[in-house]
């Protein structure tokens, strides 16, 4: 284990004066669809922790529904309230918290919510940006965009055109049965040179291998999660039949899953969503393990508000993040976000890590109030 992680694990958290759990709902500018479900808004749990006048924020990446993962905002609130927050004691270290959280099976998104808030608080207490607390110097972060399932090929082409014009470093398009080879071909014909990849969110079976082999013709960076959300082994069989690299998203819940997937040859790329793997420390472990093994890594996204989006950006200071991720501008999702400043692409498509202590973005109280559905004081 690297030295920076060890010192993080030894950090004592200290007492919390208040802990609040909020639910917010922000409308999307346009609906976002995967092969499984279409979302029209971002509904998220936020955790606010306060200590000595310093405030830390954590956003839970779970949706109110189980159409990406089994965790929901309700299950996460239950885990935070009844099992996870009770082990956050004033004298506990981050490593001790990690160990206590491991007794709770699964529920990584709930765990990450607390860990994110405590790390934001710790970084602010130290007066350093989150990436520095995580032991990594600043660097600019690559951008990428995830384009949802569209009703028509023309709509898809218009969305890709907009993304390419904006300067995103790569474009990901969602695919599903019935909206795959012809749709990818249309995009590739119109945009022969963009860095392009696809994400199936588990819509295929190994028996679809011949169909997926047709995608080898389009110079895709990778195919993300073609098979079931819970599968690793069959992805290895599929990878052996494809030239295009496979990337796992849903199937990877932590370092152990990542190592199994790599050892089996189930993927050549891993999408790290810090929430899905239980937080930033586990994300750093996976990124380091992948770097040692020559496996490319990128940061996924869950259409987060500016809180979670900032966390994903800080995490990508780790050099194991070798590829552009699903890190897009705020204006692609929301007319108004709850934080300032928004994420904006620079002229060359890169994203600046927000400077300043902690996550580097500030929650704007009137906007937070406008989008808050409920709030509960936990401590
Ligand atoms: O599979 O990566 C996914 C959004 C919601 C659920 C699953 C996924 C996504 C995205 C959007 O692709 C990523 C983003 O823009 O934040
Ligand atoms: Mg995905």
pLDDT tens for each residue of 216-229: 999 999 999 999 99
Residue 226 is predicted with a pLDDT of: 98
Beta strands (DSSP E) in 165-323 are 171-174, 196-199, 223-224, 246-248, 269-272, 296-299
| Gap from CA of 300 to ligand 1 centroid (Å) | 7
* pLDDT category of residue 83 using cuts at 50, 70 and 90: very high
Check whether 3 has a pLDDT greater than 90: no
- Angle of the 108-126 helix axis to the 280-293 helix axis, nearest 10: 100
Nearest protein Cα to ligand 1, atom 13: 301
| Gap from CA of 225 to ligand 2 centroid (Å) | 6
Q: Which residues of 129-139 are buried (b: 16+ CB within 10 A; e: fewer)?
A: bbbbbbbbeee
pLDDT, tens digit, 9 for 90 and up, residues 156-166: 999 999 999 99
pLDDT, tens digit, 9 for 90 and up, residues 170-213: 999 999 999 999 999 999 999 999 999 999 999 999 999 999 99
Check whether 1 has a pLDDT greater than 80: no
Residue 4 is predicted with a pLDDT of: 73
Which ligand ends up closest to the CA of 35? 1
Return the residue matching tokens 């405030």.
55
- 144 contacts 349 by C-beta, under 8 angstroms: no
* pLDDT category of residue 288 using cuts at 50, 70 and 90: very high
The reply to whether 179 belongs to the active site is: no
Torsion-angle region of residue 107: left (phi > 0), alpha (psi -120 to 50) or beta? left
The reply to whether 174 belongs to the active site is: yes
- Angle of the 255-264 helix axis to the 280-293 helix axis, nearest 10: 20
Residue 94 is predicted with a pLDDT of: 95
- 270 contacts 258 by C-beta, under 8 angstroms: yes
Mean pLDDT of 342-366: 98
Check whether 97 has a pLDDT greater than 80: yes
Mean pLDDT of the residues in the chain: 97
This prediction has a pTM of: 0.98
* Distance from C-alpha of 170 to C-alpha of 331, rounded to nearest angstrom: 17
Check whether 245 has a pLDDT greater than 80: yes
Residue 2 is predicted with a pLDDT of: 64
Mean pLDDT of 354-368: 98
The pair phi, psi for residue 110, each rounded to 5°, is: -65, -45
- Residue 164's contacts (CB-CB under 8 Å, 6 or more residues apart) are 171, 191, 194
* Distance from C-alpha of 46 to C-alpha of 53, rounded to nearest angstrom: 18
DSSP secondary structure letters along 159-195 = HHHHHHHHT-S-EEEE-BTTBSHHHHHHHHHH-TTS-
Enter the DSSP assignment of 69.
S
- Beta pairing partners, 50: 18, 55
Residue 177 is predicted with a pLDDT of: 98
Secondary structure class of 4 (helix, strand, coil):
helix
Ligand 1: which of 303, 310, 323 to mutate, judged by most atoms within 8 Å of the beta carbon? Answer: 303
Distances (CA, A) of 69 to 201, 230, 231: 11, 10, 13
> Residues enclosing ligand 1, CB less than 6 A?
34, 68, 146, 199, 201, 249, 300-303, 326, 328
Mean pLDDT of 40-63: 98
Secondary structure class of 337 (helix, strand, coil):
coil
């Amino acid at each position: 284990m690297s030295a920076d992680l060890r010192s993080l694990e030894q950090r004592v958290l200290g007492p919390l004066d208040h802990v609040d759990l909020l639910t917010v709902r922000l409308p999307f500018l346009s609906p976002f669809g995967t092969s499984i479900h279409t979302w029209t808004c971002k509904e998220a749990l936020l955790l606010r922790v306060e200590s000595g006048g310093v405030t830390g924020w954590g956003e839970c990446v779970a949706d109110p529904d189980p159409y990406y993962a089994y965790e929901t905002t309700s299950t996460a609130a239950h885990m935070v309230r009844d099992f996870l927050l009770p082990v956050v004691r004033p004298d506990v270290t981050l490593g001790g918290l990690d160990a206590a959280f491991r007794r709770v099976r699964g529920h990584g998104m709930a765990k990450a919510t607390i860990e994110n808030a405590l790390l934001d608080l710790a970084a602010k207490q130290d007066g350093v940006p989150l990436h520095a607390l995580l032991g990594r110097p600043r660097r600019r972060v690559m951008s990428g965009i995830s384009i949802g399932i569209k009703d028509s090929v023309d709509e898809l082409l218009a969305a890709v055109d907009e993304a390419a014009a904006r300067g995103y470093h790569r474009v990901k398009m969602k695919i599903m049965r019935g909206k795959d080879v012809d749709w990818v071909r249309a995009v590739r014909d119109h945009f022969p040179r963009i860095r392009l990849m696809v994400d199936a969110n588990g819509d295929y079976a190994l028996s679809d291998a011949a169909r997926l082999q047709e995608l080898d013709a389009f110079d895709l960076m990778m195919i993300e999660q073609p098979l079931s959300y819970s599968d690793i082994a069959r992805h290895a069989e599929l990878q052996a039949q494809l030239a295009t690299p496979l990337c796992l998203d849903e199937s990877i819940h932590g370092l152990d899953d990542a190592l199994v997937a790599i050892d089996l040859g189930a993927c050549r790329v891993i999408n790290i969503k810090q929430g899905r793997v239980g937080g930033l420390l586990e994300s750093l472990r996976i990124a380091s393990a992948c770097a040692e093994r020559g496996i490319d890594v990128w940061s996924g996204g869950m259409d987060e508000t500016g809180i979670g989006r900032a966390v994903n950006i800080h995490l990508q200071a780790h050099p194991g993040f070798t590829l552009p991720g699903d890190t897009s501008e705020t204006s692609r999702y929301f007319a108004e976000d709850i934080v300032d400043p928004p994420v904006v692409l620079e002229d060359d498509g890169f994203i600046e890590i927000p400077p300043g202590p902690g996550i580097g973005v500030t929650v704007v109280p009137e906007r937070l109030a406008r989008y808050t559905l409920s709030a509960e004081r936990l401590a």
